Amino acid sequence: MSLDKTHIKEEGHDVKRGRASRRSRNGKVSERINYEEKLKDHEIKTEDEEVKETNGRKREKAVTESGSKEVNRKRTRRKTKSKEEETKEDINDEPQIKKKKKNNKITSVDKGGIWNAFENAEKCKAKSFALFLRNQRQWVAKPLDNATIKKWHEASQNFPVHLILPHGSYIMNLGSPVPEILKKSRDMLLEELQRCEKLGIPHYNFHPGSTVGKISREECCRCIAESINLAHDQTKDVICVLENMSCQGFTIGGDLHELRLIIEHVKDRSRVGVCLDTCHAHAAGYDLSTEDGLNKFLDDFGKIIGWQFLRGIHMNDSKGESGDHKDRHENIGRGKIGIAGFQRIMNCEHFNDVPLILETPWTSNEGYGKEISKLEGLIKK
């Protein structure tokens, strides 16, 4: 078994960092450049903000003309404060964004287009890679034009596109109880699958969704499945790849039974799969630092979901202890899973010929290469 994968972001210039790799038959390893730590509960915050805005609009309509000036002044102050807080959050992220652009670690639209992902993959000696097909923190994205599609296909002529695994936006919530957010999320999923079709990419990976504390988990799972069905009805071949989660907040997918429930309600099960994240599994309660913990996880996945649905692995160490329900990625060997844990993972027969994706904290291309070599060195000859 071996690793090789590169993660490259396209339009999401404000995306977190990381990278990836993939296991292949020829035993070679390559690298992926990606996001560092995901936006913790970003979809939940986004929905709460939009619910507040909606309620605010309803209250505004109810205000009488005589008292509207004072109410509007108060509301303006609240909105101004909210904008200041959003600006503050953006400022906190910006140094990392600029650093990544400066170091050319992530491919984005302003650096030439998504077709540059192949050049970056070649520089990293990657045999596969992942990318964002749009700015992952915005609902609206510019459509792919014919020139972009043509350049992508020209660049991909000598690359196995089935080894490309795009990652979905973190603001998308396909199980949202908020009608406006649900519609936006479903529109986004459909658009993303259509982008994949135009580019000839067969897989699309995303986080399942969140109840945001307003509906039952079963209702949310059924809603997610229906969202997938609606997108499938309007597309042909792209496979939706669900990711297991860490049980953080109200997110769906930390319990493998939830992923199974979603799959059971997807009409075309040939077009749905699962990507396993080691950090998420560890945080959800499977102690992957021990042989018993890994065996328990593998046994549960095989019985609850089935290995025929496995489409990829996100290889991440965990900053937190097993069962802490915190999605905090760490570099391989520096976290709580540890080298011994990853040695067992790297020699798991179920992961043969499955893309292995590194999403560990950013260091450098050289650092990524060393990290991949470290993992590759754990494979028993």
Residue 143 lies in a domain: yes
Q: Any catalytic annotation for residue 282?
A: no
Q: Which of 207, 232, 328, 344 is catalytic?
A: 207
232 is catalytic: no
- Considering the candidates 42, 167, 311, 328, report the single residue annotated as catalytic: 167
Catalytic residue at 153? no
Chain Cα centroid distance, residue 192: 13
329 is catalytic: yes
pLDDT one-digit tens code per residue, 68-120: 444 455 454 444 444 444 333 332 222 222 222 222 222 333 345 899 989 87
Residue 166 domain-assigned (yes or no): yes
Q: Assess if residue 197 is contained within a domain.
A: yes
Does residue 215 belong to any structural domain of this protein? yes
CB-based contacts of 244: which residues, under 8 Å, 6+ apart?
Answer: 253, 254, 256, 259, 274, 275, 276, 277, 280, 281, 284
User: Cα dihedral angle (114, 116, 118, 120), rounded to 10 degrees?
Assistant: -120
pLDDT at 112: 59
**Catalytic: which of 42, 282, 329, 344?**
329
Structural domain of residue 27, as residue ranges?
6-45+105-376
Catalytic member of 7, 19, 137, 195: 137
Confirm whether 243 is a catalytic residue.
Answer: yes
Each residue's pLDDT expressed in tens, for the chain with a length of 381 residues: 444 444 443 333 333 333 444 444 333 333 333 433 343 334 334 454 444 444 554 444 444 444 444 445 545 444 444 444 433 333 222 222 222 222 222 233 334 589 998 987 777 767 778 889 998 899 999 999 999 999 999 999 989 888 888 999 999 999 999 999 999 999 999 999 999 999 999 999 999 999 999 999 999 999 999 999 999 999 999 999 999 999 999 999 999 999 999 999 999 999 999 999 999 999 999 999 999 999 999 999 999 999 999 999 999 999 999 999 999 999 999 999 999 999 999 999 999 888 888 888 977 666 777 888 888 899 997
Q: 33: domain CATH number? A: 3.20.20.150
Q: Total domain count for the chain? A: 1
* Residue 72 located in a structural domain: no
Out of 11, 31, 37, 277, pick the active-site residue: 277
Query: Could you tell me if residue 60 is inside a domain?
Result: no
Q: Report the alpha-carbon distance of residue 282 to residue 51 in Å, rounded.
A: 33
- C-alpha 272/C-alpha 289 separation (Å) is 29
pLDDT at 21: 43
Name 67's Cβ contacts closer than 8 Å, sequence gap at least 6: none
**Catalytic (active site) residue 42:** no
Look up residue 37 and give its DSSP letter. Answer: S
Q: Respond yes or no: is residue 368 known to be catalytic.
A: no
Residue in 4, 31, 47, 359 annotated catalytic: 359
